[in-house]
Chains A and B, each alone.
Chain A
Amino acid sequence: MRLTKHTKISPVILKKCKVHNTINILSGRSATYAMFSNLTSSPHEDYMVFSDIKMALNEMAIHLPYKMDFTQIISESIILTNEYWEEIVQSYSGLFEVGNDGPPIPLRESANPMLSFNKEEVTRYYEYFGYEVAVDRQWESDHLAIELEFIHFLCQGELGSEDALSFQLAQKDFIDRHFILWLASINHKIKGLDVHPYWIEIFSALYTFIQKDLEWLTTQTKYLKETI
């Protein structure tokens, strides 16, 4: 079964889902978080070849329980990474890493003072679920890419756990508390800047994905709570 954008995930449908379908959904969501984690991390650190991911993106989209369209990202990415790599690296730095008053769009959650953010909460989530950030990355453990990877990690944890509800509730809460407002703010800000459309595409797609995933998780956890 494939869920579309307009599909309402009813408890009945979920109840009828076979394990295989649940796993496909999980794997699709997991991989999508992993993908966005990579797309939002610094290109200074390793090389990105987007032509490789066309198939992966399509595969992820198929497995997601709601409709997502990554076509635009794919087409932008292929052109840019093949021909304008330096521009991508520089534009990433100029947007997210360096700037006169700090980067215009800081990707560390704590660098956004208007979010009323509790940085410690992020680390306590990590600690609770056993997610460890590499020592040289701990200072930026609230970086968007790392937080997205954490959701990927939770998806994988859910896959191997008998307590799916814990993982799903954690995903839902974390997304709600840390991504929704922040990504809305990023999307708003980035559209007001003179930036390469590629970054607008990425964050627009990410924000759409996050909203849909939260909606899906909300329904899913409600159902699971009822069935326990």
Chain B
Amino acid sequence: MSETTHSQVSFSDELLKEVNRVIGQFPEGKQKSALIRVLHIAQAEFGWLSVPVMDYVARLLHIQPIEVYEVATFYSMYDTKPVGKVKLEVCRTGPCMIEGAEKIVKYIEDKLGIQDGETTADGIFTLKTVECLGACGYAPMLQAGEKYHEHLTEAKVDELIEAYRKNPVANYMGQETNLNSAKS
């Protein structure tokens, strides 16, 4: 997504149904508790959280826009600036570091010609280093959308970049998960 804001913001009926299901998990009048989930849904739908998107979420939940802004800017998973269709989020914390996370980051930077935090010119990839994702025994690892890619090697990075380039999968809801990721 390369636009600098969103002009038309509204959820499909299906997404509105999902939003109402989430709101329904909380008691009457406590609908603000649905905010974090609804922002995930909005980000998956619109690519990133622009002011119009956040204002729309505020209207859906009957809360003030500022209540949405302060949450959207606090949590690291939310993007308040445009990002690529696929975010490659490489864990850089302790256990991943000692298993070579820094080399993996460097490798992706060189391969895609971008630095940490940047997006490729074609708008497909954003590289981001993140803190511990709870995959320390399967290091090094990165997350793309909802999917964990573990035991990374340069060859594996090549493969998944190739696959995502062909078929960019953003933060789709209900994306196929990685059930075999945790081996013990």
Same complex for A and B? Answer: no
Q: Which residues of B contact A (CB under 8 A)?
A: none
Q: Which residues of A contact B (CB under 8 A)?
A: none
